[in-house]
Chain A
Amino acid sequence: MTPANEVDNQAQKLVAILNSTAPFSSTNGKDALDLALIFGSYEQVTSLFFQGDGVWQLINNQDATLIQSKDYLKTFAALAFYDIENIYLCQQSLNERGLTDSQFTIGNVIVLNKLEFSEKLHQHNVLFRF
């Protein structure tokens, strides 16, 4: 029988992985994506957020091989396979970087204003940031 105080522990986990780092010069982007994919493979509800320099990870036509870096960005395509479909971008971060009309490597991203981004983040109960 589950003790009463353990019931809360079994509450559905809604995982948010917040990406704040640009690709390549740090492993944060890849490490965050690896985490997202593992949560997805365990069928955990997982959302990805991109804020600040994290939004750079999603712009089109990047070529990591030019700088002897592994092209982990290709792996974003695997997100859909693991049912990770909630991908949120911070509008302000895009604006600051002149990225408002950009094409992103993931098709179904949702651009949110500051308030919406915060609200969406608050709908999750486990938060990682890289």
Chain B
Amino acid sequence: MTLLHLVRKSAFETSDFQQCIDTLAFGDQVVLLDDGCYNMRHTLMNKLTEVMVIKVHADARAIAIQAGTLAISMAELIDLTFKHNSVITWQ
């Protein structure tokens, strides 16, 4: 059973992203959206091999897409929702 994790908060502000990382299992995927985009600048990213970010959310905030992070659209997020068994939101 895999989970899709939606991270909407900055790790510079709250521990939601850290808690998310603590619960990740093999096959899970993480999507950064809203203030979660700021996490691309956080050292916690070193703990993850593959992270996705909603492109327009990062662009709106002028946060460049970091190397190794996959920029996706909201439409692709819908597909991801159905790729995994369930979704958990970290907000």
Contact = CB atoms under 8 A, between A and B. Distances in A.
A52 B88 CA distance: 16
Interface residues of A, number: 18
A117 to B, nearest CB: 7
A123 interface: yes
Contacts, number: 39
A118 B90 CA distance: 14
Interface of A: 18, 20, 51-52, 90, 92, 114, 117-119, 121-127, 129
B19 A117 contact: no
Interface of B: 1-3, 15-16, 19, 22-25, 85-91
11 contacts: A18-B88, A92-B22, A114-B22, A118-B23, A121-B3, A121-B88, A122-B2, A124-B86, A125-B86, A129-B89, A129-B91
Contacts of B15: 52
A130 to B, nearest CB: 10
